[in-house]
Amino acid sequence: MQVRVAQLTSSTSRRQEPWPLFGGSSESTRHSCCFSGSQKLLNRVQYCQVPHSNSTGAVAHLQKEDKHSCVDRSTSYLHVQTLRNFPIEKICGEVVLVRLDSVILLDDLGSCNFPLKRTLSTVKYLYKAGAKVLLVTSWDPVLQSVTPVLKSTESLADYLSSLLQVKVIPVNGVPCLTSFKKEEWVQNDIILFENLLNFKGENANCNDFSQKLASGAAVYVNDSFSMSHKIRASTVGITRFCYASLAGFQFEEELMQLLKITDTTRHPSIAIIGGSNFLRKATALHLLASQCDGLFFVGRLSFQIMNGLGIPVPSCLIERNATKEVLQLIQIAHNRNIPIYYPTDLWCLNINNNEALEIFDSTELLSGLIALGWTPVDIGPSTLERISSLMASYKKILWIGPTSYDATEEFRVGATQLGQILDKASHNSCDVILVGSAACKAVKGISDSSSQYTTFENGSIVWEFLKGRILPGIAALDKSYPYKISWDGVFSDPEQPLFVDIGSGNGLFLFQMATNWEGSNFLGLEMNGKLVIRCLQEVASAGKRNLYFLSTNATSTFRSIISSYPGQLTLVTIQCPNPDFNKVQNRWRMVRRMLVEAVADLLQINGKIYLQSDVESVLIGMKEQFISHGKGRLVVDGDDDDNDRMENPFGVMSDWERHVLARGAPMFRTMLRKV
């Protein structure tokens, strides 16, 4: 099914009579251009409201490609549905599966251990809300060998019971509801399944294993942010089989902290960048160079920078295939007029005598000491003094990657001192972000003020994020609309009845409806961002103040968008969705439980839901979903339950509807009403 994008024009005659449907009981329905183009797993394009205006300036602003979007398209998938914002009444009585982070669970429950407290709060919140809670997590053999708590599912269950003050029942075998006796489930609300790494289907993101994992669970809550960069059955595959997939309290917090890294509101900012593999990190480093006000390179990356700046560096210390990317970064810094720093001195180890550790000037080392058997292991005191003197000039500091040049931990002498420098900076109202185990370990135990830092033990997630790559564990969760709508800026009178068209396509239907019924407001929700841009251009050009369009996946964002509307929601329409979206096994189809419940909750009493399709099975499927998940609040409007061949009551047809009727094919329609 395809829809040709046409210029928005008002071609039908204007109807003056009042709109009879809103809040009434008369039979009314519509035909829309609600063809929804290919829906993807991710809604990567979302747009903020652009105030309507008759001025040519506003139109010109809209006509700028999609640059008027206030959402970074590369990160819009980060706006997810959270447990905090999910209606708590919809949790009671549901089976909820929670994915936990075993590393966080094993931390001491001290006064400053906020990650563990948030993780436990996720489980307690669900338990107190009346949910039947299933817990899953994973741990590798190395961690198991040194941690008594992880010796068995039973020992971990006992440990969690002590933390939660609620009995946790261990269940071995394939994680699914059939793994234990029903009487155990009735008596106990929290179940802990076996280590996920014991099953090949976990790492393979096996569809069958994901389905077993989700069996019986209606809601999925991910509280294991450290796994976000990996594709696993327990973080990605499972979301296909649960009606709602949410971020837990700890996951939500870490996601918000991740956004802080690229937040440019705190200036000036500096990044202290360590580690190696310049080529693999080039995209991320270029991003930091374009956003930070200073860069200080340590570790092996500093040799790449020194070489790019023309300082002779022995070939054994540089990546030859990274020269182009190094020069590009230096050019970015030059264009922005920001400084690049590198170490002035280094602690060095003599490979001929492992006990010989001395400090050398960095250029002295590079000019000949390498040949004498000296190798750098960490930054020296002069470099640390330089860093300390610079920190007072910055309001935001990102430390990512180790300062050391050698993997041997016993020779890492600079990290602890750098941690002390940054601890002092954090007490001077400076935002300090620590990424990677080396940075996080360096500040642990320095003071009891660790809560002042933003920390990411797993540096891989941050590097992937900075590279602009989609983190699959985040992308798999349900989306929320990223901004609150300024309804006063969208509509001239936001108290008017609201008509929402889900899958508004090229907007022709809504444009004519808004022209015919000026006493109502019309909102189109459409996945295709380019269509939305064109619609907004026409709306601004025509100066219409009762019509607006948003680019979003309404299936998961409908509640977050419409719940803030100050007036009454009186009509919702879904028309001609692609039949492919309605396959039972595809949770990303348009009409599913999350959308149905949101519509049923927000629709006013006697408000209407209009469904139509040129495929009868699609219409029947949509109607059954609404009746089933409406939980008795939605009924077929009219005396005849079999009204799927009703006429179009609006007098306005979409392009696709005209196309179908022109070829002599039927349209199937029904109207539901909230009681």
Write the pLDDT tens digit of every residue in 259-287.
Answer: 889 888 888 999 999 999 999 999 999 99
Structure tokens at 656: 């696709």
Question: What is the reported pLDDT for 415?
Answer: 85
Contacts 24+ apart (CB under 8 A), 256-264: 257/433, 257/454, 257/456, 258/78, 258/456, 258/461, 258/462, 258/465, 259/75, 259/78, 260/431, 260/433, 260/454, 261/398, 261/433, 261/435, 261/462, 261/465, 261/466, 262/75, 262/287, 262/291, 262/466, 264/291
DSSP assignment letter at 581: G
Crossing angle between the packed helical segments 593-602 and 616-629, to the nearest 10 degrees: 60
Question: What is the reported pLDDT for 626?
Answer: 93
Question: What is the reported pLDDT for 172?
Answer: 87
Per-residue confidence at 647, pLDDT binned at 50, 70, 90? confident
**φ/ψ of residue 12, rounded to 5:** -90, 160
Question: What is the reported pLDDT for 254?
Answer: 94
Per-residue confidence at 448, pLDDT binned at 50, 70, 90? low
Separation between Cα atoms, residue 560 and residue 482, nearest integer Å: 9
Tell me whether residue 134 is exposed, middle or buried, using C-beta atoms within 10 angstroms of its C-beta: 0 to 12, 13 to 18, 19 or more: buried
Torsion of CA 181, 183, 185, 187, to 10 degrees: -150
Question: What is the reported pLDDT for 603?
Answer: 96
Separation between Cα atoms, residue 341 and residue 404, nearest integer Å: 16
Residue whose token pair is 């890294």: 261
Tell me whether residue 360 is exposed, middle or buried, using C-beta atoms within 10 angstroms of its C-beta: 0 to 12, 13 to 18, 19 or more: middle
∠ CA 471-475-478 to the nearest 5 degrees?
155
Question: What is the reported pLDDT for 637?
Answer: 85
Answer whether residue 56 shows pLDDT above 50: no
**φ/ψ of residue 585, rounded to 5:** -80, -5
Question: What is the reported pLDDT for 181?
Answer: 60
Tell me the mean pLDDT in the region 464-470: 92
Question: What is the reported pLDDT for 180?
Answer: 58
Structure tokens at 554: 């309404």
The more confidently predicted of residues 447 and 91 is 91
Region class of 576: left (phi > 0), else alpha (psi between -120 and 50), else beta: left
Answer whether residue 650 shows pLDDT above 70: yes
Question: What is the reported pLDDT for 292?
Answer: 95
Q: Are the C-beta atoms of residues 382 and 363 closer than 8 Å to each other?
A: no
What does the mean pLDDT of the chain come to? 82
Answer whether residue 59 shows pLDDT above 60: no
Question: What is the reported pLDDT for 64?
Answer: 39
Question: What is the reported pLDDT for 519?
Answer: 93
Answer whether residue 228 shows pLDDT above 60: yes
Question: What are 184-226's pLDDT values in tens digits?
Answer: 566 667 999 999 999 999 999 999 999 999 988 999 999 999 9
> Checking DSSP bridges between strand 569-575 and strand 547-551, what pairing results, if any?
unpaired
Tell me the mean pLDDT in the region 622-632: 90
Structure tokens at 277: 């593999």
**φ/ψ of residue 610, rounded to 5:** -110, 125
Structure tokens at 286: 């270029």
Question: What are 526-537's pLDDT values in tens digits?
Answer: 988 899 999 999
% of the chain surpassing 70 pLDDT: 81
Tell me the mean pLDDT in the region 611-623: 88
Contacts 24+ apart (CB under 8 A), 184-189: 185/132, 189/127, 189/131, 189/132, 189/133
Answer whether residue 380 shows pLDDT above 80: yes
Tell me the mean pLDDT in the region 449-457: 73
Question: What are 561-591's pLDDT values in tens digits?
Answer: 999 999 999 999 998 887 654 455 444 467 8
Separation between Cα atoms, residue 288 and residue 445, nearest integer Å: 29
Q: Which of 38-42, 343-347, 425-429, 598-602 has the lowest mean pLDDT?
A: 38-42
The more confidently predicted of residues 469 and 36 is 469
Tell me the mean pLDDT in the region 514-535: 92
Q: Are the C-beta atoms of residues 48 and 70 closer than 8 Å to each other?
A: yes
The more confidently predicted of residues 284 and 108 is 284
Strands (E), 362-478: 374-379, 396-400, 431-435, 453-456
Separation between Cα atoms, residue 387 and residue 442, nearest integer Å: 16
CA distances from 425 to 42, 285, 390 (A): 39, 23, 10
Question: What is the reported pLDDT for 656?
Answer: 83
Give the DSSP per-residue string, 159-226: HHHHHHTS-EEEE-SSSSGGGS-HHHHHH-SEEEEPPGGGSHHHHTT-HHHHHHHHTT-SEEEE--GG
Question: What is the reported pLDDT for 149?
Answer: 87
What residues form DSSP beta bridges with 345? 361
